[in-house]
Amino acid sequence: MTSWLRFLSGCCALVCAAAPVSANDGMLRLSNDVYLLPGSFVPGAQPDGNSLLLSGDTGWIVFDTGRHVVHARRILAFVDEDLSRVAAIVNSHWHLDHVGGNALIRERFPNARVYASPGIEHALGSWLANYRAQLVAMVDDPKTRAAEREKYRVDIGLIDLGERLLPTEPITRTRNWRIAGRQLRIGLETDAVTEGDLWLYDRGSRVLAAGDLVTLPVPFFDTACPARWSSALAGLEDMPFVRLVPGHGPDLTRDEFTRYRHAFDELLACAASEQTLAQCADGWIAQTGSFYPETEHTRVREMLDYYFSQHLRAEPAQRDRFCTQAPTAG
């Protein structure tokens, strides 16, 4: 069971696909030609990851496309307002809250190139297939409430897109790119948050999109190898960015990212120590609490409780199930 399902509770109104969408709805300008569409992560609903939009000379580059239709429609409305098109999609990783809008955007802009790790193909035959089976069982369970059932069907529909979620440009190593006229560096981290995680550094704006290598209010360990994730964060520190856009949560300055990275490493060290969960959660909140409202603290503790029991403090075989490679240096 994923944490996304684990933490769904209370009001479960699905984000309304038919809601009117205005072009600048929720869009934040990070520099003169780079915009952030914040994702949502509210109790009772499945999350959307953040999307970063970069203007290029032949159209927009969209880094991550959210999960829900309304998120992708916001991207399309924004691009329409600009009388432009989507030239390229870059997906940070295969989680549905980052690739869910791909199909809608590609339907509208069939020539858009899709840059992503080929790891999604493996995920479709393994993790996502298992997740789909769980969702189908819950949809079929007569005890499942109608609104919950609808929510599960959204994810089943996304998984059933199958090949339409695959990249046209599989990324298998870190290298520089020129896409839509922009000078980019796309990095590949393996076995960090997922089998293959991409980050994107834009030289023009010095904005770094980190995908779920940085998430708030807590790291999402569902498919992660924590030790390699830590190494990936150390590598990000070497990039000359001035703003970092996480997969979930507000954009961070360099100093804020450094604080996040240290909090991450201390969380792993705490989990490996004799300290209690409450002490570890206190430490995490002390260092990262300014990145989210105080009303989130209860949920932070609940999520860390789940991740400690299911991942960080689970039996070694379970704890390390996504660590298929030796830890990287640093």
Which residues of this protein are in contact with Zn ion, per CB under 5 A? 49, 95, 97, 212, 247
Q: Which is nearer to Zn ion, 94 or 109 (by Cβ)?
A: 94
Q: Which is nearer to Zn ion, 99 or 280 (by Cβ)?
A: 99
Measured distance CA(233)–CA(248) in Å, rounded? 15
Q: Which is nearer to Zn ion, 189 or 212 (by Cβ)?
A: 212
Q: At 106, which amino acid appears?
A: R
Q: Which is nearer to Zn ion, 55 or 190 (by Cβ)?
A: 190
Cis peptide before 217 (omega within 30 of 0): yes
Measured distance CA(72)–CA(316) in Å, rounded? 39
Instruction: Look at residues 288, 321, 318, 325 and name the one whose alpha carbon lies nearest to residue 303.
Output: 288
SS3 107: helix
Q: Which is nearer to Zn ion, 59 or 247 (by Cβ)?
A: 247
Supply 296's token pair.
């989130």
Nearest distance, CB of residue 92 and Zn ion, angstroms: 8
Nearest distance, CB of residue 151 and Zn ion, angstroms: 16
Q: Is 257 exposed, middle or buried (0-12, 13-18, 19+ CB in 10 A)?
A: buried
DSSP 69-135: HHHHHHHHHHHHHTT--EEEEE-S-S-HHHHTTHHHHHHH-TT-EEEE-THHHHHHHTHHHHHHHHH
CB 222 within 8 A of CB 215: no
Supply 327's token pair.
């830890």
Nearest distance, CB of residue 96 and Zn ion, angstroms: 9
Q: Which is nearer to Zn ion, 97 or 148 (by Cβ)?
A: 97
Nearest distance, CB of residue 58 and Zn ion, angstroms: 28
Nearest distance, CB of residue 147 and Zn ion, angstroms: 22
Q: Which is nearer to Zn ion, 59 or 249 (by Cβ)?
A: 249
Nearest distance, CB of residue 97 and Zn ion, angstroms: 4
Measured distance CA(88)–CA(54) in Å, rounded? 10
Nearest distance, CB of residue 116 and Zn ion, angstroms: 14
Sheet order of strands, 207-215 included: 175-179, 182-190, 196-202, 207-215, 243-248, 252-253
